[in-house]
């Protein structure tokens, strides 16, 4: 077997990085909007190279780790070369710019090398995070996996026992500071614990467990970024214990990732605000006790995102199959306000349920405007404070789905006999499983690194990169897991079909892949 050569891996990564830098300079001299294909390809290539670079330290920790690193670097550079080939002028490089990497790619993309790589590799977590992993893995195995398929097939609800069980484990308070009743103590440990817990819950089920802690995470970050002390004291302890559970209402029928175009209005009235308009893709909206609503408080639409404010909007719990709520005239509310939730059926990611929600003069108390008077016009920034962390968390969800798919495919390959041999004995299957393991481990290690950066107040670009790269990779991993199952992969009785349809949503929510690449990653690269 070819031995790992991390010196060569580092050199190849730098060759790839130089191509990315050249393309970035070329794009900076033109216009992203006029060269969207280049900008999109560059964003994904840069994300792949960043993932490869982050893996170099991991590769130095052992032989298996070194082989995983070399295999991933070879794949990432191969993907870049495929994007550049025939478009060298557009990328601002000479033909053959990556020729120096050919020997490395030949060695570590060799099917024999991949087929011999039969271990997923250790995670190298500190003992305290291994405990977090073990705790949440047990919960996923015992509480989520047994019900995940039933919830998926029936489009059922998340059992209250799952929510209360996670609350008892402190899952909803991982990022809430201790002084507000949570377990967050600041520093990188808080972020890594969130990533580890999210992965394990998503491995159990994306729709039943993996996404439950994302919504309170977004509201927590928004409150910490702009909330008054009174608001933090009011809401954070309730989020930590699930006395209050929230959903996010930002997207609108005509405005998805283009948040600056939001039309839902909030107008002043006695003692508060009246919400009018329609939000869509409000996940968990029926079960939630409050909605986090981004609304236009400045009627001057030319101000774009600077005219938006963020509200905490109390509501009663509604039926998951659709609800219509009418406010009573209590606590300063004029009464008569209406909120109607229409469910949106989806191919996967079931259990959480998504809704189109219409507001008709729905009253919100003045004290529920995040930041109060000083928060007017700053809602976009508070929302983004939550969404940046949400991107890292989404990457962790993708890793969990990939891990589940890999484990299912590996087990099936051992059990399924074709032409007198287990399919796991065949080179093609072994190479596929190896590549799945390599991608999953690389994504995981990059997520750990991004968590450490974000703990230091950095990593905004890297959080977008890890989301873009990992979520797209999850589609390939789950597709290959389904393919290894053959015809049974297309049958609902095997979990792998659920992993495939669940993975598809990951590149859409928390920032659609195209918008994330063009409006965030590419722009920050050329800035």
Residues marked active site are found at 510
Element (H, E) at 502: helix 496-504
Per the document, the length of the chain is 527
Q: Which residue in the block uniquely carries the two structure tokens 């008709």?
A: 360
Residue 334: CB atoms within 10 Å: 14
Measured CA to CA, the distance from residue 247 to residue 287 in angstroms comes to 8
Residue 294: beta bridge partners?
A: 310
> Cα–Cα distance between 284 and 352 in angstroms, integer?
5
The token duo for 456 is 């230091």
Report d(CA 487, CA 501) in Å as an integer.
Answer: 16
* Rounded-to-integer distance, Cα 70 and Cα 129, Å: 26
SS3 263: coil
287 CA to centre of own chain: 21
Q: Residue 347, Cα to own-chain centre: how many angstroms?
A: 18
Buried/exposed 214-249: b ≥16 CB within 10 Å, e otherwise: bbbbbbbbbbbbbbbeebbebbbbbbbebebbbbbb
233 token code pair: 């004291």
For residue 79, how many C-alpha atoms fall within 13 Å in the half-sphere facing its CB? Answer: 23
């Amino acid at each position: 077997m070819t031995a790992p050569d991390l010196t060569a891996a580092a050199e190849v990564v730098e060759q790839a990085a130089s191509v990315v830098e050249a393309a970035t300079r070329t794009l900076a001299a033109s216009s992203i909007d006029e060269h969207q294909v280049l900008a999109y390809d560059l964003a994904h290539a840069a994300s792949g190279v960043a993932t490869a670079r982050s893996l170099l330290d991991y590769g130095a920790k052992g032989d298996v780790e070194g082989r995983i690193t070399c295999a991933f670097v070879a794949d990432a550079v191969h993907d870049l070369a495929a994007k550049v080939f025939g478009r060298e002028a557009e990328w601002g490089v000479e033909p053959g710019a990556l020729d120096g990497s050919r020997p490395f790619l030949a060695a570590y993309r060799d099917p024999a090398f991949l087929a011999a790589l039969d271990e997923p590799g250790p995670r190298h977590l500190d003992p305290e995070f291994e405990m977090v992993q073990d705790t949440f893995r047990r919960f996923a195995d015992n509480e989520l996996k047994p019900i995940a398929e039933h919830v998926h097939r029936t489009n059922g609800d998340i059992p209250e026992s799952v929510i209360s069980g996670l609350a008892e484990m402190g899952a909803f308070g991982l990022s809430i500071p201790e002084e507000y009743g949570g377990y967050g103590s600041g520093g990188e440990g808080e972020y890594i614990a969130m990533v580890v817990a999210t992965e394990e819950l998503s491995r159990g089920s994306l729709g039943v467990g993996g996404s439950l802690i994302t919504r309170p995470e977004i509201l927590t970050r928004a409150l910490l970024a702009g909330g008054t002390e009174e608001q933090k004291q009011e809401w954070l302890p309730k989020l930590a214990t699930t006395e209050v559970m929230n959903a996010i209402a930002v997207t609108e029928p005509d405005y998805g990732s283009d948040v600056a175009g939001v039309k839902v209005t909030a107008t002043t009235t006695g003692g508060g605000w009246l919400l009018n308009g329609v939000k869509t893709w409000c996940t968990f909206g029926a079960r939630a006790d409050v909605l986090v609503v981004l609304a236009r408080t400045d009627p001057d639409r030319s101000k774009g995102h600077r005219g938006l404010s963020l509200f905490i909007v109390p509501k009663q719990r509604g039926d998951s199959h659709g609800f219509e709520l009418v406010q009573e005239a209590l606590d300063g509310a004029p009464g008569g306000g209406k909120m109607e939730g229409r469910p949106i059926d989806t191919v996967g990611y079931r259990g959480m349920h998504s809704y189109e929600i219409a507001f008709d003069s729905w009253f919100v108390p003045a004290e529920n405007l995040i930041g109060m008077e000083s928060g007017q016009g700053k809602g976009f920034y508070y929302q983004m404070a939550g969404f940046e962390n949400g991107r890292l968390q989404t990457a962790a969800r993708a890793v969990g789905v990939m891990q589940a798919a890999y484990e299912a495919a590996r087990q099936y390959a051992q059990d399924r006999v074709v032409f007198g041999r287990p399919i796991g004995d065949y080179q093609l299957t072994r190479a596929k499983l190896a590549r799945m393991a390599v991608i999953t481990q690389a994504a995981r290690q990059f997520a750990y690194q991004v968590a450490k950066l974000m703990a230091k107040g950095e990593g905004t670009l890297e959080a977008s990169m890890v989301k873009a790269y990992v979520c797209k990779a999850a589609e390939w991993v789950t597709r290959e897991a389904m393919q290894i199952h053959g015809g049974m992969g297309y049958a609902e009785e095997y979990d792998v079909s659920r992993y495939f349809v669940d993975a598809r949503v990951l590149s859409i929510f928390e920032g659609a892949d195209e918008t994330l690449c063009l409006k965030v990653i590419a722009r920050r690269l050329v800035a």
